[in-house]
């Protein structure tokens, strides 16, 4: 214990800096492990990530010269370029265009890399101007070198073609090429291979008319010596770019308005078979297009017979979408909406997969692909019911295959599958089993794609083994699954949604060392903290309600329950930024029933079973307290609970007293504005006012309002006597809130 110290909070919250890896397709034994350890441990190596497997990287390892490190003598030889490409971490970057060949080959540099590049050029000039070894005149193509250009600067380059007088080289940090005399070529030293090359070769997202030289002349004035915002997409291991200039105008739009775009001839589609049934049935054969594929066990198709309807849908959507309402704030997960696709700017029907303040991830339901939307205000709109009612044309499918020798599909296998599945626009699909996903066999001509993958030892066929899918397919819970974490009554309870369970577990793991977090010197009401729950002595995220001599009254924001905690700690900033993982809810009361009966409350607690029951959460109305339905086995549980409440007794309006015998209650005027506007309190209601006054004495401990909406009923302090009263919000500004004290009229 003398060698163990508490980590400061700023270090405790940092991510682990070591990444676990394993060599792809490698066997393990004592001898192999020892040889591998002595070969690579504490050595500089190059790794190529082949796959990501449960937070572990499947890699191939190369030495710093680019030679593959062989684990066993039978491992195949492989050589890669030791000067690595620029890593693309963010899809959107500020860039300049360093060189243009044509529309499908131009080179960009990130603006953020320019200082690094300038420092590198200074190092190259200082070193190779006075030293360095001459390059072998017979150096083969792809050999790395240092080359002095006509501007007398030295650059990193590779040989494209050698001649008797020199070589044609390409400058790797810029993309352009030049013929350089032999005496101006030198071997590139290892210390100058460490930094990745800065230039990235990309292709425009559109096709241009004309030859490559004509495209160069058209693009040069548009692209060179300017700064752009580049949106990058990696499609089949090639980078596609959409460029926006400083005004926000896309280069593809400028090229289109200049009549420079090449209109692609649409291939002739197969004819639709009118006898083809509307539903895909087991054993049926259908013409389909694979529109998106993650791997052979998860891909999406469109049927040929649906294509005209999809085209009509898209045309109608583009025409109507300007009139659709914008989504305000953070959209709900699973929201069926209209969203723009960043690759082409068109609108498509989509479903929200994940959302926060900065980015929303959607899946386009008619195609299956996903996209991330950063311009939430302008990129997502509500769909009208007429659009929601149209069936979703993207059909989720799988082949009866599992990966060969690995836990997950390798990138190479996925690329091979996609290449075969999209070799023709429409291929044949035979349904082998119904469900979600549908199980298919895919054919290109007479070739079975699944059999081809098995033949090449990229996959294993599992046809006829029904139960295996229960083990190898990740069971998709209904995204609305939720359980009740805390109950006061059916009118006030908290739920945790199943999709946040992993986040709750992550937070719990972080709080194992919460005792070491910094203590809070000055407790402030409404502030977030980490508080120990007295019943289980575990730490949870909490909000301070009040603080006194006996402890701190908190509400545990991820569960909904409250307690007086005697130990609280500072909360790490990244955990404080996560929104509460519980939702405060109520079941709406039907008209005529004023409150839930005691039996209904008991039955609700029994149904919830201390959080063990999984409900389907259907949000009727968002708010500080969300109105919801809880569905259990397809039935709204409110139906059973209402049956346990007392039915309202119809009241007969009291007959007026005979004239001259009227009885009127004694009243006092509680507030007067004018003879045409004043408020009364009846003597018979005074007892109720006194009854309400008692709990309002402790109103300071009530939960603070998070949203100040007009019409909200709240507790408000009256400035003249500093007492709390029931009130309704009339209006709100940054500095004050105007309320009406509903029991008095002022």
Following DSSP, what letter does each residue of 515-544 receive, concatenated? GGSPB-SS--TT-EEEEE-TTT--EEEEEE
pLDDT-based confidence at residue 620 (cuts at 50, 70, 90): confident
pLDDT-based confidence at residue 611 (cuts at 50, 70, 90): confident
Above 60 in pLDDT, residue 265? no
Q: What local confidence, expressed as pLDDT, does residue 334 receive?
A: 84
Above 70 in pLDDT, residue 385? yes
Q: What local confidence, expressed as pLDDT, does residue 14 receive?
A: 65
Q: What is the pLDDT of residues 52-100, one digit of tens each?
A: 665 678 888 999 888 999 888 778 888 888 998 888 877 788 999 999 9
Above 70 in pLDDT, residue 120? yes
- Using H for helix, E for strand and C for coil, what is the string for 362-394? EEECCCCCEEEECCHHHHEEECCHHHHCCCCCC
CA torsion sign for 276, 277, 279, 280 is negative
Q: Tokens in use for 510? A: 């972080």
pLDDT-based confidence at residue 465 (cuts at 50, 70, 90): very low
pLDDT-based confidence at residue 506 (cuts at 50, 70, 90): confident
pLDDT-based confidence at residue 567 (cuts at 50, 70, 90): very high
Q: What local confidence, expressed as pLDDT, does residue 466 receive?
A: 46
Contact yes or no for 71/36 (Cβ under 8 A): yes
CA angle, residues 476, 477, 481, in degrees to nearest 5: 160
Q: What local confidence, expressed as pLDDT, does residue 652 receive?
A: 42
Over residues 485-492, mean pLDDT: 92
Which is higher by pLDDT, 447 or 693?
447
Q: At which residue do the structure tokens 């999809």 appear?
A: 310
Q: What is the mean pLDDT of the chain?
A: 85
Q: What local confidence, expressed as pLDDT, does residue 469 receive?
A: 46
Above 60 in pLDDT, residue 339? yes
The answer to which of 64-73, 190-199, 392-401 has the lowest mean pLDDT is 64-73
The answer to which of 388-397, 414-423, 461-470 has the lowest mean pLDDT is 461-470
Q: What local confidence, expressed as pLDDT, does residue 89 receive?
A: 75
Above 50 in pLDDT, residue 609? yes
pLDDT-based confidence at residue 360 (cuts at 50, 70, 90): confident
Above 90 in pLDDT, residue 541? yes
Q: What local confidence, expressed as pLDDT, does residue 550 receive?
A: 85
Q: What local confidence, expressed as pLDDT, does residue 75 receive?
A: 80
Q: What local confidence, expressed as pLDDT, does residue 31 receive?
A: 86
Contact yes or no for 481/614 (Cβ under 8 A): yes
Above 90 in pLDDT, residue 337? yes
pLDDT-based confidence at residue 643 (cuts at 50, 70, 90): confident
Report cis status (omega within 30 of 0) of the bond before 437: yes
Over residues 556-572, mean pLDDT: 92
Residue 55: other Cβ atoms inside 10 A = 8
CA 556 to chain centre: 26
pLDDT-based confidence at residue 13 (cuts at 50, 70, 90): low
* CA dist., res. 356 & res. 376, Å (int): 10
Over residues 315-335, mean pLDDT: 90
Above 50 in pLDDT, residue 159? yes
Q: What local confidence, expressed as pLDDT, does residue 155 receive?
A: 97
Over residues 679-683, mean pLDDT: 73
Kindly write down the DSSP assignment for every residue of 266-310, as one continuous string: PPPPPPP-TTS-SS--TT-EEEEEEEEEEETTEEEEEEGGGHHHH
Above 80 in pLDDT, residue 668? no
Above 60 in pLDDT, residue 582? yes
Contact yes or no for 456/415 (Cβ under 8 A): no
Q: What local confidence, expressed as pLDDT, does residue 407 receive?
A: 57
Q: What local confidence, expressed as pLDDT, does residue 474 receive?
A: 40
pLDDT-based confidence at residue 224 (cuts at 50, 70, 90): very high
- All structural domains of the chain: 19-80 (no CATH), 92-253 (2.30.30.140), 285-461 (2.30.30.140), 477-646 (2.30.30.140), 672-740 (2.30.30.140)
Judged by DSSP in three states, 128 sits in helix
* CA dist., res. 146 & res. 169, Å (int): 10
Over residues 307-333, mean pLDDT: 91
Over residues 332-344, mean pLDDT: 87
Above 90 in pLDDT, residue 401? no
Over residues 492-521, mean pLDDT: 86
* CA dist., res. 744 & res. 689, Å (int): 10
Above 80 in pLDDT, residue 284? yes
Strands (E), 346-474: 347-355, 360-364, 370-373, 380-382, 395-399, 401-403, 427-433, 438-444, 447-448, 459-461
The answer to which of 42-46, 451-455, 673-677 has the lowest mean pLDDT is 673-677
Above 80 in pLDDT, residue 646? no
**Pairing of the two strands 626-632 and 582-586:** parallel
Percentage of residues of the chain with pLDDT beyond 90: 39
pLDDT-based confidence at residue 467 (cuts at 50, 70, 90): very low
Over residues 564-591, mean pLDDT: 89
């Amino acid at each position: 214990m003398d060698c163990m110290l508490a980590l400061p909070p700023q270090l405790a919250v940092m991510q682990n800096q070591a990444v676990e890896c394993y060599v792809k397709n490698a066997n393990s034994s004592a001898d192999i492990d020892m040889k591998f350890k002595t070969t690579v441990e504490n050595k500089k190596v190059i790794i190529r990530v082949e796959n990501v497997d449960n937070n572990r990287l499947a890699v191939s390892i190369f030495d710093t010269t680019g030679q593959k490190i062989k684990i066993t003598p039978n491992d195949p030889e492989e050589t890669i370029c030791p000067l690595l490409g620029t890593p693309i971490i963010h899809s959107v970057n500020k860039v300049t265009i360093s060189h243009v060949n044509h529309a499908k080959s131009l080179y960009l540099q990130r603006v953020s890399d320019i200082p690094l590049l300038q420092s590198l050029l200074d190092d190259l000039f200082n070193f190779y101007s006075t030293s360095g070894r001459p390059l072998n005149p017979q150096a083969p193509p792809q050999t790395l070198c240092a080359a002095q250009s006509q501007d007398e600067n030295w650059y990193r380059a590779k040989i494209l073609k050698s001649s008797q007088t020199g070589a044609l080289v390409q400058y790797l940090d810029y993309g352009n090429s030049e013929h350089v005399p032999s005496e101006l070529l030198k071997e590139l030293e290892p210390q100058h291979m460490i930094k990745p090359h800065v230039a990235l070769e990309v292709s425009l997202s559109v096709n241009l008319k004309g030859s490559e030289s004509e495209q160069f002349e058209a693009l040069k004035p548009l692209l060179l010596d300017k700064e752009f915002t580049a949106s990058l997409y990696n499609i089949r291991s090639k980078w596609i770019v959409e460029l926006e200039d400083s005004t926000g105008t896309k280069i593809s739009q400028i090229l289109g308005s200049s009549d420079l775009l090449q209109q692609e001839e649409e291939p002739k589609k197969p004819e639709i078979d009118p006898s083809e049934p509307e539903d895909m049935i087991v054993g049926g054969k259908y013409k389909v297009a694979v529109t998106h594929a993650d791997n052979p066990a998860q891909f999406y198709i469109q049927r040929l017979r649906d294509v005209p309807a999809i085209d009509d849908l898209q045309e109608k959507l583009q025409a109507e979408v300007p009139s659709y309402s914008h989504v305000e704030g953070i959209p709900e997960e699973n929201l069926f909406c209209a969203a723009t696709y960043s690759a082409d700017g068109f609108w498509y029907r989509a479903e929200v997969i994940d959302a926060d303040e900065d980015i929303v991830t959607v899946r386009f339901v008619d195609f299956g692909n996903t996209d991330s939307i950063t311009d939430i205000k302008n990129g997502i709109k509500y769909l009208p019911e007429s659009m929601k009612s149209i069936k979703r044309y993207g059909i989720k499918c799988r082949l009866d295959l599992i990966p060969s020798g690995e836990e997950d599909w390798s990138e190479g296998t996925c690329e091979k599958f996609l290449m075969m599945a999209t070799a023709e626009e429409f291929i044949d699909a035979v349904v082998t089993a119904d469900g979600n996903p549908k199980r298919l066999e895919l054919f290109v001509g007479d070739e079975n794609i699944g059999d081809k993958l098995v033949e090449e030892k990229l996959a294993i066929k599992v046809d006829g083994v029904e139960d295996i899918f229960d083990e190898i397919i990740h069971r998709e819970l209904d995204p609305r699954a939720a359980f009740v974490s805390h109950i006061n009554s059916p009118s006030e309870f908290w739920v945790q949604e199943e999709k946040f369970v992993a986040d709750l577990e992550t937070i719990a793991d972080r709080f194992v060392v919460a005792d070491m977090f910094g203590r809070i010197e000055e407790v402030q009401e409404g502030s977030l903290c980490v508080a120990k729950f007295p019943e289980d002595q575990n730490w949870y995220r909490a909000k301070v309600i009040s603080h006194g001599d006996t402890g701190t009254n908190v509400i545990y924001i991820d569960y909904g329950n409250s307690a007086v905690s005697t130990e609280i700690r500072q909360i790490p900033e990244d955990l404080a930024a996560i929104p509460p993982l519980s939702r405060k809810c109520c079941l709406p009361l039907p008209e005529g029933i004023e409150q839930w009966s005691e039996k209904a409350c008991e039955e609700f607690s029994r149904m919830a079973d201390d959080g063990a029951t999984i409900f389907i959460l259907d949000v009727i109305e968002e708010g500080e307290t969300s109105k919801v339905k809880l569905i259990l086995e397809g039935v709204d549980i409110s139906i059973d609970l209402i049956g346990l409440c007392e039915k309202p007794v119809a009241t007969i309006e009291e007959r007026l007293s005979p004239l001259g015998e009227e009885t009127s209650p004694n009243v006092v005027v509680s507030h007067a504005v004018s003879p045409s506007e004043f408020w009364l309190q009846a003597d018979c209601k005074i007892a109720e006012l006194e009854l309400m006054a008692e709990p309002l004495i402790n109103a300071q401990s009530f939960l603070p309002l998070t949203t100040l909406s007009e019409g909200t009923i709240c507790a408000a302090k009256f400035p003249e006597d500093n007492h709390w009263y029931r009130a309704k919000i009339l209006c709100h500004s940054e500095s004050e809130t105007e309320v009406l004290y509903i029991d008095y009229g002022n």
